[in-house]
Each structure stands twice: as C-alpha cells, then as structure tokens.
Structure 1
C-alpha cells in the first residue's frame, strides 16, 4: 500500500469516521474489566486507571478529529448518515460514553466525594434519554432509507439499539451507591431499556444466522464484526445479575408482591430482591451460554483465514477499524 505524500495531516484526520469510537469501546471495556477482576493485586487498580485515562484521551482525540471533519466540510455530517459503512456505527459514540461512565464509577467512587454519585445519577438519565432517542430515530431512519440493502452483513444492525441496552449495565454499576429513592427508578429504568435492547438484538440474530446459513461466512475484513454477537448476551447477563444484587438492598421487601396479593400484610419468605436475584441468575446462565456460542463461532471464523486451516492470511493493511470489536466478549 502506498501513501499519497501530497495529502496533508488535516486531510488525513478528516478521514476518521464514527466507527473509530469502537477503539474507545474496546479500551474502556478493558478498563472496566480490570476493575471487576475477582483476583486483584496491588498494581492492578493502577493499571486499570492508566487504561481508563488512555480511553479518555482517545475519546477526546477522536471527538476533536470528528469536529474538525464536520467543521471543515459541513456536508460530511449529513453524508455520514447516508453511508452504510458509517451510519450503523454512529451509536458507538454513545457506547464509548457508556464505558466512560462505567469507568468513572469504578475508579472514582473511592477517591471522590458524594458529588460524584449525584453527577453519575444525572448523567445516567441524560444517557438514557439520548440512547432511547437514538434507538428510535436512528432505527426509523435506517428503515425509511432501506439502508439494509446497502449493508448486506446484518450484524451491524444491532448497534442502533446497543446504547439502550447498556443502560441496564450502567444501572447495575451505579445503583449500589445511590440512595434507595434514587436507586429504585434507576434499576427499573435500566431493566426496561436492557430488555428493549436484548429483544431488538434477538430480532437481528435471526437475520444474522439466516445470512450465515445462506451465504456462509462473511468476507475476511467483515469477520471481526462477528464478535459483536457475543455482546448483547453477555452484557444482559451482567446487567441482570448486577441489578438484582442491588435490588436486594434497595427494593422494599414486599415491593410488587403487595400489589399482586393486596390482602396479605405479613412477612414473606423471600423478598422481592431475593426473587429477582434467583430469576436473574438462572436467566444469566443460558445467556452466558449463548454468548460463548457466538464467541466460539467468531473465533473459528477468524482462525479459518489462516494458512494452517487452508485460508489466506490478510495483508496487515487490509484489517479495518472493525477489528476493534474483537475485545467485545471481555464482558
């Protein structure tokens, strides 16, 4: 591959697209993973904070490049939503913000004052409103423009609903440190939007498996995107268990039960939170299994490109930005 020496740095920076935010999604996901690893050692939190700060730097850098692109050529913003290889990746901007919120909760709670929890609560509802708006209007735009005819690989169609689904993951992270009167609506809101996201993903999974059965594996440059399929299942399992654990502490013992059985006022054998944790744990088991299945399919599809398995090794320059979706299964 040869580079045109006549292209300026400014012109190169203007080539950055929405999909570049997938770098932040991957980096932020690793930072959150390091904070939640069960076996901690003394230097691990420091490593996690370094990765989290790197994620902030990457997010700011990519955002500046995007702002430069749209400022230099105002029509580029409208055009970015008309290009099938770019419009589906607009939600990665919100996904990157979600990883920043999760990292702020993980690394800022012990070193910041009570103001952080108030800020996270406000940011959560702003993020929820933005993700719902994207989930509705962006999907409507894709339907109205019949964008699916131009993007043959179906899995990126999960992305417009992905930020909505991460509301549950964010809720499971921040609800534990919120007052009960604030935590309860956060958990209910997170559960609602998590359910919306996973149901929209299941609809796309049907198209995805139909595509694989009819057309076979996608072209090599598209295969890193197959790791996206492990995300909805794993994030939902994580969110369900996290929200259920907080429900034990935050939910009143007879929450919902008193409405279902109005005549009873005595103590209950199991509180609403404990019942929620049981259901969430059982549900998370098969969701983890589905995530493992899709992860295995993605890994085998990547290995099948190697010469050892009879495939053709890609030239390094043929790897596209979609390769940054490979760390998705770390959840």
Structure 2
C-alpha cells in the first residue's frame, strides 16, 4: 500500500520522505527493548548500589525517551503523508499485531520513571505516577481487547503461520504488576503522602493474571502448531522468544509485590500475624513455578536458533529481532526478584551474567539495525526500487 501510494510522487528517486512512509509500528519494539535494559540495570543496582550502574541505566532511560519521541514523530509523519495508512495498519495481518508495542513502550517508560525519576524529585512525581498507573490500566485493557476484536473481525490467521507474536496484543497487561511493584517500592523509599498501595496492588494482580492467562492459552496453541507444523520460518524465528515474556513479567511482578506485603496490607488485615508471611510464601511458590516455565521457553527459544550457527543458514534482519532482547529482560528481572526473595547469591550472580549478555545482544541488534538502514534494507520501498 505504501509503495503504491508513492508511485505518483516518485521521479525515479527514493528520498527521505519515501523512507519515512515505510515506518511501521514494529519500530516500537526497539523502545520496548531499550526501556527493558534500563529496567534490568536498575535491578542490578538495587542489591549492589553502584553509581556507575545507576548512570548506565539512566543513560538507557534517557536514550529510550529520545527513541520513543523519534518513533512517534516518524509514524505520525507517515500517517499524514500517506492518507489511509493509519486505518490500513489496523487491518494489516502483520503490522496490526505490533500496534500494542506503543503501549508497552509507554509502560516501560513509566516503570523507568518510577525507578530513576521519583528518587531524584519531590513527591509531585510520585503522585503523578499514581494517576498515570490508573490511566495505564485503562489504556492497556482497551488496547488489548480492542486489537484482538479488530483482528478477530477482519483477519484470518492460519494455524501454520502462528508464532508467539499473536500474544503481543496481550503484552500491555503484563506490565501492570511490575509497574505496581516499582511504584510501591519508590513510594516506600520517598517522603510525602503514601500512594494507595492496596488498591494498586490488587488491581495489578487482577490485570496481570488476566494477561498471563490469555498469553498462556495462546502459547499452548503455539505448542500445538509446533507439533503439527515444525518450527517457524527464518523471518519468524525471533518471535519464538516472545513466549518467555508472559511468565517472566508475571514472576517479576508477583514476587516483588509479595515481598512488599508488609507495607501493602493494612494493619487491620495483619491482626493474625500470619497474613504477610503467607502472602510472601505464596508469591515465592508461584514465582518459582512460573520461573521454571520461563526457563523452559528460554531454552526452547535458544535451541530454535541452533541451525544458524552454520554459515549456510542466515536469518534476515527485521525489527522483530528486538524480540531477542525485550522478553529476556523479563526473564532477568524475574531472576533478580526471586534471588532477593529467597536470598540466593547464586541466582543473583546468574542474573548479573545474563544482564551482561543481554546488553551485548542489545548492542549487536542496534548496530545491525543501523547497518541495514545504511544499506537500504530498512525503511526502503522495495517495489519502487525494482520498478
């Protein structure tokens, strides 16, 4: 559609305007991954309190803000320069699945703001983030339900084309518990009037559970697809890592909220003296259960890339390569949450090693993306080039 819309304006030369017209919602996976790295670095900083770790995490946070603004500007320009492309993006089989990426990117920015912003500002930011939490809850539910309804009403997805990318419209729901736990932790460490911790925690658990169950059912269907159709094609292979995210974010959120039960549960509900201990224990048991599922999906996802070790097999770069990063940030933060809950130095060291590897992967994907932009493999109307 984009290429055909530009044909009448082309003089045989592809300019910057034409490249901007190729910008899609998939580019917000980059800001999801970059914000996830900032979140992981804050998880590293929490037990070690090292200034240089804080500074690197702050850099990723600010850099992610710049990337997010750039994506918003570019995709707005595309919608203005190509009339009808906005509605078309909701009806495209591939691009429509990635529309919630802008909501997830916003969620990671809000979490990073709680981590890096509230400790450096006054109570006003904490109160603002409390309001934004409820706004995010509303937007995430509307976005998830709305996108799925549009897809179910307008598209037909054959089972042999299925990948965990089908989970993507449910991803905004999966950031609610991590958002709540981060906001409550920042509130506990700051001054001023406390936020309404119990309503925030209860709502976050409800929405997080909804998002996880939706994602779990889709991942179960993906297992059926693998049993009947083998692994996805090369260009779809990075999407396998998306199956790690639902359990990873759920572990990170629930375990962190469980460890904060002392400051969340009101005194009148702690009368028996066992309420907090029971909630902490339940969060750890549920966390270990789902963390095992996260590990299993991680090993299966890495194993699906084994054939690319051989030089005769290559994987074409697409923006879905950021799936190598963002779902794994959930895995790492979940590992840190469990390490804190069970006081395990082994898990904490493993999570630190995973963090280092993840930053290297982020850098490799980012450099590859820039190289493809330079080599005209990204943001390039290939039909027009052939013509």
TM-score, normalised to structure 2's length? 0.77
Report the counterpart of residue 174 of structure 2 in structure 1.
165
Bigger mean CA offset, 142-151 vs 239-248:
142-151
The 8 Å contact of residues 16 and 66 in structure 1, kept in 2 or not, is answered as yes
Report the counterpart of residue 305 of structure 1 in structure 2.
308
2:14 counterpart SS class: coil
**CA distance 1:57–1:151, shift in 2 (3 Å):** farther
Report the counterpart of residue 43 of structure 1 in structure 2.
52
Q: Which string of whole-angstrom CA distances, capped at 9 and with x for unpartnered residues, describes residues 183-212 of structure 1?
A: 111111100100000000111011110111
Is 1:6 paired with 2:37?
no
Q: Which string of whole-angstrom CA distances, capped at 9 and with x for unpartnered residues, describes residues 208-248 of structure 1?
A: 10111111111111111111111000100011011222222
Report the counterpart of residue 352 of structure 2 in structure 1.
none
**For 1:97, which of 97, 106, 109 is the aligned residue?**
106
Bigger mean CA offset, 54-63 vs 297-306:
297-306
Whole-Å Cα distance in 2 between the matches of residues 274 and 250 of structure 1?
13
Whole-Å Cα distance in 2 between the matches of residues 151 and 216 of structure 1?
9
Report the counterpart of residue 219 of structure 2 in structure 1.
205
**For 1:224, which of 238, 241, 245 is the aligned residue?**
238
1:135 counterpart SS class: helix
| Cα displacement (A) at 1:175 | 2.0
Point out the structure with the larger helix share: 2
Q: Which string of whole-angstrom CA distances, capped at 9 and with x for unpartnered residues, describes residues 237-281 of structure 1?
A: 0110112222221212453x8xxxxxxxxx41402x332211111
The 8 Å contact of residues 160 and 229 in structure 2, kept in 1 or not, is answered as no
Report the counterpart of residue 329 of structure 1 in structure 2.
328
Whole-Å Cα distance in 2 between the matches of residues 147 and 170 of structure 1?
34
The 8 Å contact of residues 154 and 207 in structure 1, kept in 2 or not, is answered as no
| Cα displacement (A) at 1:169 | 1.4
| Cα displacement (A) at 1:46 | 0.7
For the aligned residues, what is the CA RMSD?
1.9
Is 1:52 paired with 2:50?
no
**For 2:32, which of 16, 20, 25 is the aligned residue?**
25
The 8 Å contact of residues 159 and 225 in structure 2, kept in 1 or not, is answered as no
Whole-Å Cα distance in 1 between the matches of residues 128 and 265 of structure 2?
22
Whole-Å Cα distance in 1 between the matches of residues 268 and 282 of structure 2?
17
**For 1:66, which of 75, 81, 100 is the aligned residue?**
75
Superposition map of 1:143-162 within 5 A: 143-149=152-158, 152-162=161-171
Whole-Å Cα distance in 1 between the matches of residues 195 and 115 of structure 2?
22
Whole-Å Cα distance in 1 between the matches of residues 167 and 25 of structure 2?
15
**CA distance 1:5–1:246, shift in 2 (3 Å):** farther
| Cα displacement (A) at 1:40 | 4.2
Whole-Å Cα distance in 2 between the matches of residues 216 and 128 of structure 1?
37
The gaps in structure 1 that reach 5 residues or longer are: 258-266
Whole-Å Cα distance in 2 between the matches of residues 75 and 147 of structure 1?
21
Whole-Å Cα distance in 1 between the matches of residues 118 and 62 of structure 2?
15
2:300 counterpart SS class: helix
Is 1:319 paired with 2:320?
no
2:48 counterpart SS class: coil
The gaps in structure 2 that reach 5 residues or longer are: 1-10, 331-387
| Cα displacement (A) at 1:164 | 1.3
Whole-Å Cα distance in 1 between the matches of residues 129 and 241 of structure 2?
29
The 8 Å contact of residues 194 and 236 in structure 1, kept in 2 or not, is answered as yes
The 8 Å contact of residues 165 and 236 in structure 1, kept in 2 or not, is answered as yes
| Cα displacement (A) at 1:74 | 2.7
